[in-house]
Chain A
Amino acid sequence: MSQSVAVRVSHLGKQYRLGATQASYNTFRDAIIQTATLPVRALGRVLRPSSAPSQRTLFWALQDVSFQVQQGEAIGIIGSNGAGKSTLLKILSRITDPSAGRVEVYGRVGSLLEVGTGFHPELTGRENVYLNGAILGMRRSEIARKFDEIVAFAEVEKFIDTAVKHYSSGMYLRLAFAVAAHLEPEILVVDEVLAVGDSHFQKKCMNKMSDVAHEGRTILFVSHNMQAITSLCSSAIVLNAGQLVFQGTAQEAVALYLQQSQDASQLYTDLRTARRKSNPKAIFESIQITSGQGESRFPKTGEDVQIAVQIRCFEPIRDASVCVVIWDSAGGRVIDANTRMAGQDVTLSQGDVGIWTFCLRDVLLRPAFYRIEAYIGDVYLGGIDYLPNALTFEVQMNPEYPMGTVDYPGSYRCQFEVQYYPAEQAVERSV
């Protein structure tokens, strides 16, 4: 029985100090001051930084999480932002240690928390393939054997000896993913890497992922894309506020998660404390949705919708684009609206705070729950701030767009009427 277990997680917990990154920069001074007064204690603090973070606010990013993954099983990990998904992956990939509990892993683990980790812009494509492969845990001989395959998958044969800083962002991503895709560990841990690139590339990635899943390898897969979860994974767990709230089939887990996000739907979200990568040049401070003539309520099918995002800039940004993307609950990308499509480049100076409002006309979405992704990116550096789940809102039923008795899944709901003619008449009309 126990032979078939690939990963056993028992009572896993991870505690973080709130604002640890910012606060710790000051503590050297504190440490010195304390050295003057209480040398022993200060030395103890420097030597044992993990102990006794007394007055700081502690919170559990993960608490008492237990589950098992069988060998060859593809398991999805879902949950809203801050639910603890990334923390769980980091512990499984041994990047950070848990504060409580334990994990037993049976097999070689390969983790893909981002594509292109360790890529160096000054090195050529060839050199980066070897470097990145080594970083991901491949042997040199293994990389050499797969090299041609990797380059062919990435479709960059002609540029393989060019420094990757001259690559287009598409080529860069393709090469980065190609290396990662040829990693062959027994247990693969994957974070939202599929959220990059164009749709052609995303499809290619998904295909590769499902190949991997069908080869019988164990996969732990985190995504906001419910479609990807249900198509790749047989089972899934749902995390909420650091705790495991469900383990079962992928379909059931997705349904539960959607129910949760419906409960969480709102008109305004304060995003200042949202979890994001450290020290972005600019952040989304808030997002608000209004409907019709700017009324503070959820929209009905066919109404105008205004999405307002407030951005604060910490470091100058040039030629950036502010984007909002509306996703449906099945993981379909429904609407893209961004400043670049509107022909505007966003240039901000340090300290600027501004509100961008996207006024969407006649939004013909079916009554359901939708998630808004907010993204600021610049052409050269990519993502500046990225919140895949900035806000969840509801589109309510509009009597002018009849629903019928069954809730049909098509997201786009235009007005239509049905005409009927008997066949002969139809033929006559077409002649």
Chain B
Amino acid sequence: MAVIDKIDQMNQGYNPYQTQPLVIESKTGWVSLRLREVWEYRELLFFLTWRDIKVRYKQTLLGAAWAILQPLMTVIIFTLFFSRLSGTASDGVPYPLFTYVALVPWFFFANGLAHAATSLVENANLVKKIYFPRLIVPLSGVLAGLPDVLLSSLLLVGMMLMYQVVPPLSSLVWLPLFLLVALITALGVGIWLAALNVNYRDIRYVIPFLIQLWMFASPIPYSSSIVSDAWRSVYGLNPMVGVVEGFRWTLLGVGQPPGIMTLISAGVALVILVTGIAYFRRVEKTFADVV
């Protein structure tokens, strides 16, 4: 008990209200991102993420198998339709494997984006009844997708064994970085949409189209090598291009090693995230009144 008390005291060591009061007043103008506050509420972030993970597949017949089934079904559909049309589009790698490697980060991105975008409205009861940094809600929506990445990676390992593709071990260290770019992008766009969705419920109907369009604007069913050089720089502004190419390069050894384009992807992702947080902070004070 004494030990726990001690830890508690240490946890509460940072108490901004002890010496000076907490001031609640009308805020005008652009406010700071206040990321430190999110860190202070990390335990709540942990519990909300954990809740999202636990609840996600409750009352589904197949449960967490959906994490594998979603990309698997998509691979089957793509293989049936696209591989016949463009036989050379997979850079010499078996088409199912070529596509599945892209779909692992893609579904993490797409599901995370969709969850984050609707998260504030779905958690309206929390937002209306209790204070916490609202950013935690879309953040937990994206983070809760991480176990799905692990699950769908299991099948990826199986497929690589089956097709006898061995990734160069030295490049594997890049994988978490590419996943991080996907996470930042999903979070950035998700935060923008989540904030907009509170005021404009139209966003809910926009999300499926956005994801669909985005998928075809990313080299998922095809290789980015079919994009002409003239368009490549514009194409690279889509952060998911960098992510998918990065996954293919790391695991299959095809395409370009990380370079300028990867940096641009990461940069764009960060810009989306920072502007998203700024906008979110700007409008969050009205959430409880409107949601």
Contact = CB atoms under 8 A, between A and B. Distances in A.
A103 B23 contact: yes
A120 interface: yes
A277 to B, nearest CB: 9
Nearest to A115: B129
Interface stretch (A139-147, A265-273, A392-400): A139-147
B36 interface: no
Interface in B117-165: 125-132
Contact of B129 (A95, A137, A145): A95
B1 interface: yes
Contacts of B202: 28-29
Nearest to B11: A139
Interface in B255-291: 279, 282-283, 285-286, 288-290
B183 to A, nearest CB: 22
B126 A117 contact: yes
A130 B288 CA distance: 24
A163 to B, nearest CB: 9
A5 to B, nearest CB: 9
Interface string A90-112: 11111111111111111111010
B288 A118 contact: no
- How would you classify the secondary structure of chain A's contact residues: helix, strand, loop or mixed? mixed
A49 interface: yes
B24 A144 contact: no
Interface stretch (B98-106, B107-115, B193-201): B193-201
A123 to B, nearest CB: 6
Given A104-B21, A113-B130, A16 B289 contact: yes
Given A95-B288, A117-B126, A135 B44 contact: yes
Contact of A103 (B24, B47, B125, B288): B24
Interface in A111-166: 111, 113-114, 117-118, 120, 122-123, 127, 130-131, 134-137, 139-142, 144-145
Interface of A: 8, 16, 20-21, 24-25, 27-29, 31, 46-50, 90-109, 111, 113-114, 117-118, 120, 122-123, 127, 130-131, 134-137, 139-142, 144-145
4 nearest A-B pairs in the assembled complex, by CB-CB distance: A28-B200, A102-B25, A94-B131, A104-B21
Interface of B: 1, 4, 7-8, 11-12, 15, 17, 21-27, 43-44, 46-48, 50-51, 54-55, 58-59, 125-132, 196, 199-202, 279, 282-283, 285-286, 288-290
Given A97-B24, A120-B55, A135-B130, 11 more contacts: A8-B21, A24-B200, A25-B201, A47-B282, A48-B282, A103-B25, A106-B17, A123-B55, A131-B47, A135-B47, A139-B43
